Structure 1
Amino acid sequence: MGIGVVIRNHLGLVLAASRWFIHHVDNPELGEAIAMCHALIFAEDSGFQKILVETDCASLINKIKSKVDDMSHTGAVVFNIKSRAPRFLSCCFTHVSRYCNEAAHVLAKSAEHDEGSCWFNVSPEVIRNIVCTEQF
């Protein structure tokens, strides 16, 4: 399963991007949770202080916003996400449509056998057209 992370500013310009391939994960919600955890680590390591984390997985957003401990197969990763969020000055989680998440989705699909790539202040070639034509 591929992970794609695209960090943009308020104007929609790409500040950073990352992709990674993870082995032996075939559950979409678990994969999305792992991707979100990776996004938080990447954002923190890159020095971002105020972040808005978007995903097209509504069930994951519900689990992150819930006050109840998640006892599902994604529970440990959800706990990790919740424990990382306070490290930022501001960290909000929101659900978006797949259409709004297309750049990250395409970047994730391109991650097969990629042990980790990242870009700063430039869009990866594979998503450049998407980023340039998206309405932000």
Structure 2
Amino acid sequence: MGASSYPLVDVADAFVAEARACERALHFALDMGFRKVVLEGDSLTVIKKLNSIVADRSVLSPISQHIRVLAGVFEEVTYNFVPREANKAAHELAMVGRNLKLPYFWVEEAPSSVVEVAELDHQEWFHQC
């Protein structure tokens, strides 16, 4: 349906980057008008924190709290862990985004390299079923 890339500055570690990416994904879904969202990420730690009802006291706490507020706007938000090998398109989009200085949004399209990798992901998944 679309894709976005948003430059992150002063990111403490990979967990914070992944949590910020989840946050940006919800903003994008809201802007696109989606009511039900499945958010997939390759950081098991972040996905567990988002699925947990226990108060988070880590450095991710302010981000995860903001994600919960954003999620409240939707009819439904589901958080799923997906290994990077199973979603290479998301990794490719992140690599494309590293070269962009400003936020960038694609509606009903994506960068060609991301589309190519997504098609390969889909073919691999289809052949496994």
TM-score range (shorter-chain normalised) is 0.7 to 0.9
In 2, the alpha carbon distance for the partners of 1:101 and 1:83 equals 27
Q: Does the 8 Å contact 1:20/1:108 carry over to 2?
A: no
Deviation (angstroms), 1:38: 0.3
CA RMSD of aligned residues (A): 1.3
Q: Which residue does 1:75 correspond to in 2?
A: 61
Task: Give the unaligned 5+ runs of structure 1.
Answer: 1-14
- How many residues align? The count is 122
Q: Does the 8 Å contact 1:18/1:116 carry over to 2?
A: yes
Query: SS of 1:111's equivalent?
Result: helix
Deviation (angstroms), 1:26: 4.0
Query: SS of 1:68's equivalent?
Result: coil
In 2, the alpha carbon distance for the partners of 1:83 and 1:73 equals 17
Q: What's the TM-score, normalizing by structure 1? A: 0.83
Q: Which residue does 1:97 correspond to in 2?
A: 83
Q: What's the TM-score, normalizing by structure 2? A: 0.88
Q: Between Structure 1 and Structure 2, which shows a larger proportion of helix residues?
A: 2
Q: Does the 8 Å contact 2:89/2:121 carry over to 1?
A: no
Q: Deviations over 1:10-34 (max 9, x none)?
A: xxxxx10001211111400000000
Moved over 6 A (4+): none
Pairs within 5 Å for 1:106-125: 106-112=92-98, 113-125=100-112
Farther off after superposition, 60-69 or 30-39: 60-69
Larger Rg: 2
Aligned-pair identity in percent equals 29
Q: Does the 8 Å contact 2:5/2:93 carry over to 1?
A: yes
Task: Give the unaligned 5+ runs of structure 2.
Answer: none
Q: Deviations over 1:43-67 (max 9, x none)?
A: 0011011111100111111111211
Farther off after superposition, 25-34 or 107-116: 107-116
Q: Does the 8 Å contact 1:19/1:114 carry over to 2?
A: no
Amino acid in structure 2 at the alignment position of 1:97: P
Q: Does the 8 Å contact 1:32/1:57 carry over to 2?
A: yes
Q: Which residue does 1:127 correspond to in 2?
A: 114
Amino acid in structure 1 at the alignment position of 2:120: T
Q: Which residue does 2:28 correspond to in 1?
A: 42
Q: Does the 8 Å contact 1:16/1:122 carry over to 2?
A: yes
